[in-house]
């Protein structure tokens, strides 16, 4: 995320309208917008692989999977983010074509410029989404998937998967796949 040079306060409605007309994507925090940086090949390939795998898995269900260009709205914190991959199974999300507020799964593919934010403040913000069951971080430097799952007590529990595990599981959407399929065609830096 890169600070925009013109820091003008925008309402959520103004932000949504701006994003519809702007070729550059921005995330929104407390009325201010921040330009999104471009992504490298491993990042885009991993996000695309996961989207395709999840899309095939949820086809025919009431769930929808989104990639990169759909905003997640955290209304209670006045935030909009662009997750790399997001799944919602909540019918209320059909009412908002520009953003989704009730995801069960959010995935961020890590990059050098965003890793600290994705692990820190962004994860803390996403925890305010009552419907979110799983937050997943995918590494682009080596085969590693970190799944943070909200347990029955509301605590976030980490389960990591590596190449040695051969597969990974996303409980929120009852999905299991191989690490090899997730990282297909990825050339590590």
Q: What is the CATH classification number for the domain harbouring 94?
A: 3.90.1570.10
State the pLDDT at residue 1.
Answer: 47
24 within some domain: no
State the pLDDT at residue 75.
Answer: 97
64-108 pLDDT, tens digit each: 999 989 999 999 999 999 999 999 999 999 999 999 999 999 999
State the pLDDT at residue 119.
Answer: 97
12 within some domain: no
Could you give the number of structural domains in the chain?
A: 1
70 within some domain: yes
188 within some domain: no
CA distance 122 to 77: 11
8 A C-beta contact, residue 120 and residue 106: no
State the pLDDT at residue 27.
Answer: 95
State the pLDDT at residue 38.
Answer: 83
- State which residues form the domain around 105: 40-182
Residues in the chain, pLDDT under 50: 1-5
Indicate if the alpha-carbon torsion angle 11, 33, 18, 25 is positive or negative. Answer: negative
State the pLDDT at residue 87.
Answer: 98
CA distance 159 to 136: 10
66 within some domain: yes
32 within some domain: no
29 within some domain: no
């Amino acid at each position: 995320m890169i600070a925009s040079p013109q820091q003008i306060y925008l309402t959520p409605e103004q932000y949504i309208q701006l994003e519809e007309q702007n070729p550059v994507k921005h995330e929104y925090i407390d009325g201010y917008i921040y330009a999104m940086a471009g992504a490298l090949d491993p990042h885009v390939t991993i996000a695309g692989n996961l989207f395709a795998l999840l899309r095939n898995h949820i086809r025919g269900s009431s769930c929808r999977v989104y990639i990169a260009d759909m905003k997640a709205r955290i209304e209670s914190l006045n935030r909009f983010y662009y997750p790399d991959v997001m799944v919602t199974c909540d019918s209320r999300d059909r009412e908002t074509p520009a953003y989704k507020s009730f995801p069960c799964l959010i995935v961020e593919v890590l990059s050098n410029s965003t890793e600290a934010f994705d692990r820190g403040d962004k994860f803390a913000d996403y925890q305010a989404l009552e419907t979110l069951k799983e937050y997943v971080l995918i590494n682009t430097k080596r085969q590693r998937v970190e799944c943070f799952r909200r347990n029955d007590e509301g605590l976030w529990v980490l389960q990591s998967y590596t190449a040695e595990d051969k597969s990974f599981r996303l409980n929120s959407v009852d999905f299991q796949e191989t690490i090899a399929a997730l990282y297909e065609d990825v050339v590590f830096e």
